[in-house]
């Protein structure tokens, strides 16, 4: 069993200026996304983080379920970026997740388009961004789930695609260390995104695992095959088909093509 999440431990080591300066912690919550939205509705300052050690109704993209039993990390951070910065928020979030795992757990990671973080080809962290664009400005809630203790073998739906930090590191990794590092990395990439968005884009592109490879992409009801050629600055994926034509994929799930 991993150590309990401790606000004191995190706060005493946090070096950020605004991300995580306000933390709302729940042992267990339905979804940190909803809890963060409530906080934002009450006027929460930028950088407010909602953290839970377990979720009962965690979600992924397209209303898919995200499993987060006890012993793992679910975290949402409230940001107020400019509209033009939204694509970089997505890129920056997966970069922050990948860097956190490498620095804290000593594992090697890859990013799978658009923003899954993988270790040895298996998903260790999923990211969900929910935006609210209003006249008064943009609110972006970034949600990051990290499997720490999770043993995928206990969950048949994800057993073949998921992994956990402890399993990959071969030792228990402190959730407090991971959360502290993640908040620091989120602030770092967010500030970088504001000053040098091109750097965030190039770094993210450089870490994408499937570029240049034959892939299958499921986007809505359409299945596409081709080579994942590149990603654009708006985050979309350029897929080149065997006949030379291309498709720009804005949203979808990509997997390596087996044949
Ligand atoms: C994601 O969606 O990967 C985004 C997950 C975001 C979770 C965080 S936790 C904090 C915040 N609060 C929330 O309620 N959500 C966010 P997507 O790319 O749609 O992937 C979902 C798919 O990942 C599912 O359909 C499963 O196949 C798989 N999956 C579910 N739980 C998993 C887990 N714990 N580890 C690995 N894969 C999982």
Q: Is 252 in the pocket of ligand 1 (CB under 6 A)?
A: no
What's the gap in Å between 126 CA and the centre of ligand 1? 5
Q: Residue 93 Cα, ligand 1 centroid: separation in angstroms? A: 14
Measured by CA distance, the residue closest to atom 15 of ligand 1 is 59
What is the whole-number distance in angstroms between the Cα of residue 137 and the centre of ligand 1? 27
Residue 258 pLDDT: 66
Predicted local confidence at residue 136, as pLDDT: 86
Ligand 1, residue 122: give the atom nearest the CA: 36
Query: Whose Cα sits closest to atom 9 in ligand 1?
Result: 145
* Residue 91 alpha carbon to ligand 1 centre in Å: 17
> How high is the mean pLDDT of the chain?
96
Predicted confidence (pLDDT) at residue 2 exceeds the cutoff of 80: no
What are the tens digits of pLDDT across the range 6-44?
Answer: 999 999 999 999 999 999 999 999 999 999 999 999 999
Q: Are 109 and 120 in contact (CB under 8 A)?
A: no
- Nearest ligand 1 atom, CA 157: 27
The whole-number average pLDDT for the span 93-112 is 98
User: How far is the C-alpha of 140 from the C-alpha of 129, rounded, in Å?
Assistant: 7
Which pLDDT tens digit goes with each residue over 112-164? 999 899 999 999 999 999 999 988 899 999 999 999 999 999 999 999 999 99
């Amino acid at each position: 069993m991993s150590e309990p999440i401790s606000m004191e431990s995190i706060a005493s080591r946090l070096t950020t200026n605004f991300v995580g300066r306000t933390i709302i912690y729940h042992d267990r919550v339905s979804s940190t996304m909803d809890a963060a939205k409530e906080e934002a509705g009450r006027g929460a300052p930028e950088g407010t983080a909602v953290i839970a050690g377990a979720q009962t109704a965690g979600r992924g993209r397209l209303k898919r379920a995200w499993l987060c039993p006890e012993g793992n990390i679910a975290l949402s951070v409230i940001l107020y970026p400019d509209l033009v910065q939204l694509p970089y928020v997505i890129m920056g979030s997966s970069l922050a997740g990948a860097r956190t795992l490498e620095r804290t757990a000593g594992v090697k990671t890859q990013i799978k388009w658009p923003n899954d973080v993988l270790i040895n080809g298996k998903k260790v962290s999923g990211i969900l961004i929910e935006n609210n664009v209003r006249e008064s400005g943009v609110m972006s809630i970034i949600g990051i789930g990290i499997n720490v203790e999770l043993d995928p073998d206990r969950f048949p739906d994800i057993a073949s695609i998921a992994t956990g930090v402890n399993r990959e590191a071969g030792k228990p990794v402190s959730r407090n260390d991971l959360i502290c590092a993640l908040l620091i990395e989120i602030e770092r990439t967010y500030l970088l995104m504001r000053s040098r968005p091109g750097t965030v884009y190039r770094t993210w592109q450089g870490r994408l695992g499937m570029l240049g490879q034959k892939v299958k992409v499921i986007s809505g009801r359409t299945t596409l095959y081709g080579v994942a050629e590149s990603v654009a600055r708006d985050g979309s994926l350029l897929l080149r088909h065997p006949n030379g034509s291309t498709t720009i994929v804005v949203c979808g799930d990509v997997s390596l093509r087996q044949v």
